[in-house]
Amino acid sequence: MATTAASAAAAGTAQNLQPAVDATGSPLLRTAEKEEGHLSVWNLKTFQRMHSLPLGADPPPMNAIAFNHNGKIIAAGSGDGMVRLFDMGGRSPIMGWPSHPHASMCSICFGPDQNSIFR
């Protein structure tokens, strides 16, 4: 049963990892890399960091990340149980809320209606 749950989680993540391109058509890679307190967006052609999304002072580890259907919103789940939403266009946080206090998140995805987030 653990394999089935893991497969389902992987499938849910894969659905949210839609190919994304910048204004010039270059592919982008979004990573949940906690470097200097930011989530990073990388260009796959040049391997250059394109954007950094701020996580704030002394951020917890980001364990899960998902993108909405058009790549404009990122949902990130962290080691402190918080869900955080980021606007890719403005490169800024939108909001955050506690999912389960003191419980590390290991998966997150947008629902088919794009108005729900599952963890």
Question: Does residue 18 belong to any structural domain of this protein?
Answer: no
pLDDT at 22: 59
pLDDT at 116: 87
Structural domain that includes position 58? 27-118
User: What's the gap between Cα 1 and its chain centre?
Assistant: 26
pLDDT at 85: 93
DSSP-H helix ranges across the chain: 2-16
Tell me the pLDDT band of 3, cut-offs 50, 70 and 90. Answer: very low
Average pLDDT value for residue range 93-97: 91
Question: Does residue 77 belong to any structural domain of this protein?
Answer: yes
Per the structure, the count of domains in the chain is: 1
Most confidently predicted of 26-30, 100-104, 110-114:
110-114
Higher pLDDT pick, 2 / 98: 98
pLDDT at 23: 60
CATH number at residue 111: 2.40.128.630
Strands (E), 2-100: 20-21, 27-35, 38-43, 49-54, 62-67, 73-78, 82-87, 92-98
